[in-house]
Amino acid sequence: MKALDATQLYFNRAADHLELPASSRRLLVTAKREVQVQIPVEMDDGRLETYLGYRVQHNDSRGPMKGGLRYHPEVDLNEVRALAALMTWKTAVVNLPYGGAKGGIAIDPSVLSPGEIERITRKFVDEIHDFVGPNNDIPAPDMGTDSQVMAWYMNQYQKYHGFNPACVTGKPVEMYGAPGREEATGRGVGILCLKLLGRLGRKPPQTRVVIQGFGNVGSHTAWFLNKAECSVVAVSDKFGGYYRPEGLDVPAMVRYANNNRGTLQGYKDAQPITNEQLMELDCEVLIPAAIGGAITEHNVKKIKAPIIIEGANNPTYPEADDVLTAEGRTVLPDILANAGGVTVSYFEWAQNRQYYQWTLNRVRQELDVVLSQAFEAVWEMAQQRQTSLRTAAYILGIGRVSRAAALAGIM
Ligand code: GLU
């Protein structure tokens, strides 16, 4: 099962609950616009390389379309389509005045120089600048991109359209970015994890947490939950995992990764394990915070955690999700769990339009308010409809988008 099939299946389950007619379903699963562009670039050694870039604008019924820009070798049109639709439901679940979009370029940034990544980014903006913009479609960081890439994006966009920092979010703080945007996705995962633990009657000190991924999302989640007195017992990056049953020294690991080009490779104060073993560890909370498709029918039976929090987008495929639900485990779905990032993107965009910068404290407080409201709404929907939290989140998101589309006279 591919990412796109998975999101469509989740969509249909919620659409059944909402009794949406086939015509509305067709409208809501179809993207408003999809583009593939050619990106010819001169590499550092003088060679000409041609890459493919994508932007899928899924739905704008609730506002300008919003979603990240992913640089990863496996990016293709179908994956970007699935991720764009997820953004539409995600912004609706947290009730931001946005629609959903996603973009990507099929490159491996870890083998490219900063100059090459800059030229690829600028070339991509050259190709798409006419149909994106602050009132229309606003990119942000995702896997393989960061605030530097967003700064190049903004600079290139402004060459065509004039000064307008609201054209992209996740920018450096010195360049119209919002303090707290970088930590926001991981912090949001942590905030929601604590809310869920509270609802399930569990206490942080008695909670062992395992996190797959130690990039932007995984490392900030680990940091937040460690501070909240959870016991973070294992984390991993693409090179492997690190396990310490009595709890990892998370601040030391964050420092280590910061000084080691973002990886934990060579970290000594923990037991080395494989990524596969990590998923099967005895723990209370498992947080996939890396790639999609981390929990499938092949490994779901070996997963022991009663609580799963989806830091990544699309980490659980439906066959596995069905097993988890049937066994009574609690899955906090991606469209709620990792919505902290886009929420602070919204704060950044709103500040850019006022030329005003909030303090870090204000960003953190307002993030807490938005995510708490969304969590309560999803929890209540799940009680009311007797569904999983995933189906409840989709019902809430799809319901809001279809009401907006109907009010606008689109459907
Ligand atoms: N890429 C992030 C996501 O998947 C953030 C998107 C945004 O800030 O627009 O939610």
Q: State mean pLDDT over 329-357.
A: 98
Which tokens belong to 234?
């294992």
Residue 249 structure tokens = 């020294």
Assess whether 154 and 212 both reside in one domain.
no
CA distance 2 to 11: 14
User: Last residue of some domain: 337, 360, 395?
Assistant: 337
Nearest CA to ligand 1 atom 8: 342
C-alpha to C-alpha distance for 213 and 221, rounded to whole angstroms: 10
> If you measure from the C-alpha of residue 329 to the centroid of ligand 1, how many angstroms do you get, rounded to a whole number?
27
The residue from 32, 66, 90, 102 that is catalytic is: 102
Amino acid 304: pLDDT: 97
Q: Check which CATH number belongs to the domain holding 85 and give it.
A: 3.40.50.10860
Any domain includes 279: yes
Q: Is 102 a catalytic residue?
A: yes
How confident is the model at residue 231, as a pLDDT?
A: 98
Ligand 1 atom closest to the CA of 70, numbered from 1:
1
Q: What atom in ligand 1 is closest to the CA of residue 66?
A: 9
- The per-residue b/e assignment along 51-69, b for 16 or more CB within 10 angstroms, e otherwise, is bebbbbbbbbbbbbbbbbb
Among the atoms of ligand 1, which is closest to the Cα of residue 138?
Answer: 9
Same domain for 98 and 128, yes or no, is: yes
Helix 340-354 × helix 77-93 angle, to 10°: 70
Q: Are residues 299 and 223 in the same domain?
A: yes
User: What is the tens place of the pLDDT at every residue in 301-334?
Assistant: 999 999 999 999 999 999 999 999 999 999 999 9
Are residues 241 and 120 part of one domain? no
| pLDDT tens-place string over residues 120-133 | 999 999 999 999 99
Q: Ligand 1 centre from 278 Cα, in Å?
A: 26
Domain match, 195 and 309 both:
yes
Mean per-residue pLDDT for 329-348? Answer: 98
> What pLDDT does residue 1 have?
60
- Distance CA(150)–CA(181), nearest Å, equals 12
Amino acid at position 134, single letter: P
Q: Do 209 and 108 sit in the same domain of this protein?
A: no
Residues 161 and 286 in one domain: no
In a 3-state reduction of DSSP, which class is residue 20? coil
Residues in a beta bridge with 34: 56
Q: Give residues (CB < 6 A) around ligand 1.
A: 66-68, 140, 142, 169-170, 313, 338, 341-342, 345
Would 80 be classed as within a structural domain?
A: yes
Please tell me the total number of residues recorded for the chain in this structure: 411
Long-range contacts of 196-203 (CB under 8 A, 24+ apart): 196/307, 196/309, 196/330, 196/332, 196/375, 197/285, 197/307, 199/379, 200/307, 200/330, 202/284
Q: Which domain holds residue 92?
A: 29-175
**Is residue 3, in this structure, part of any structural domain at all?**
no
Two structure tokens written together for 349? 């965009």
Q: How far apart are CA 1 and CA 398, in angstroms?
A: 22
Number of domains in the chain: 2
Output phi, psi for 253, to 5 deg.
Answer: -70, -35
- Among residues 287, 314, 337, the one where a domain terminates is 337
How far apart CA 392 and CA 385 sit, in angstroms, is: 8
User: Is 303 inside a domain boundary?
Assistant: yes
Which pLDDT score, from 0 to 100, does residue 68 have?
Answer: 98
Query: Which of 87, 149, 367 is the best mutation target for the ligand 1 pocket, counting ligand atoms within 8 Å of the beta carbon and taking the most?
Result: 87
For the chain, how far is it from start to end, CA to CA, in angstroms? 30
pLDDT category at 4 given cuts 50, 70, 90 is confident
The pLDDT of 262-284, averaged and rounded, is 96
Is 170 inside any structural domain? yes
Return the pLDDT at 214. 97
Same domain, 139 and 271: no
> What's residue 347's pLDDT?
98
- What CATH number is associated with residue 282? 3.40.50.720
> What three-state secondary structure class fits 212?
strand
Return all residues near 356 (Cβ < 8 A) that are at least 6 apart.
none
Helices (H) and strands (E) in the chain, counts: 14, 13
As a three-state string, the secondary structure of 229-254 is CCEEEEEEECCEEEECCCCCCHHHHH
Q: What is the sign, positive or negative, of the torsion defined by CA atoms of 153, 156, 162, 163?
A: positive
Q: Is the pLDDT of residue 2 over 80?
A: no
CA of 122 to the centre of ligand 1 (A): 20
From residue 398, alpha-carbon distances to 18, 37, 106, 132 in Å are 9, 30, 30, 24
Distance from Cα 133 to the centre of ligand 1, integer Å: 16
Closest protein CA for atom 7 of ligand 1: 342
283 and 331 in a single domain? The answer is: yes
Residue 347 located in a structural domain:
no
Question: Nearest-CA neighbor of 398 among 4, 15, 6?
Answer: 15
Q: How many CB atoms lie within 10 A of CB 155?
A: 15
For residue 83, give the ligand 1 atom closest to its CA: 4
**Three-state secondary structure of 73-109:** CCCCHHHHHHHHHHHHHHHHHCCCCCEEEEEEECCCH
Average pLDDT, stretch 95-110?
A: 98
From 342, 347, 351, 352, the mutation candidate for ligand 1 (largest count of ligand atoms within 8 A of CB) is 342
Across residues 371-385, what is the average pLDDT?
98
pLDDT tens track for 30-72: 999 999 999 999 999 999 999 999 999 999 999 999 999 999 9
95 and 144 belong to one structural domain: yes
pLDDT at 191: 98
Contacts of residue 319, defined as CB under 8 A and 6 or more positions apart, other chains included, come to 1, 296, 297, 300
The answer to whether residue 103 is domain-embedded is: yes
Per-residue model confidence (pLDDT) at position 409: 94
Instruction: For residues 392-407, give the mean pLDDT.
Output: 98
To the question of pTM greater than 0.85 for the whole model, the response is yes
Q: At what angle do helices 181-199 and 360-385 cross, to 10 degrees?
A: 40
Predicted local distance difference test score (pLDDT) of residue 411: 85
pLDDT in tens, 158-199: 999 999 999 999 999 999 999 999 999 999 999 999 999 999
Question: What does residue 13 show for φ and ψ, rounded to 5 degrees?
Answer: -60, -45
> Looking at residues 77-98, what average pLDDT do you find?
97
Place of tokens 């910068």: 357
**Residue 24 resides in a domain:** no
User: What separation in Å is there between the alpha carbon of 149 and the centre of ligand 1?
Assistant: 14
Q: Quick one: 50 and 189 in the same domain? A: no
**Residue 388 confidence (pLDDT) above 80:** yes
Mean pLDDT of the chain: 97
Residue written as tokens 């396990």?
Answer: 243
Same domain, 162 and 83: yes
Q: In angstroms, rounded to a whole number, what is the distance separating the alpha carbons of residues 152 and 158?
A: 10
> Among 293, 322, 337, where does a domain finish?
337
242 phi and psi angles, rounded to 5 deg: -135, 125
**pLDDT attached to residue 372:** 98
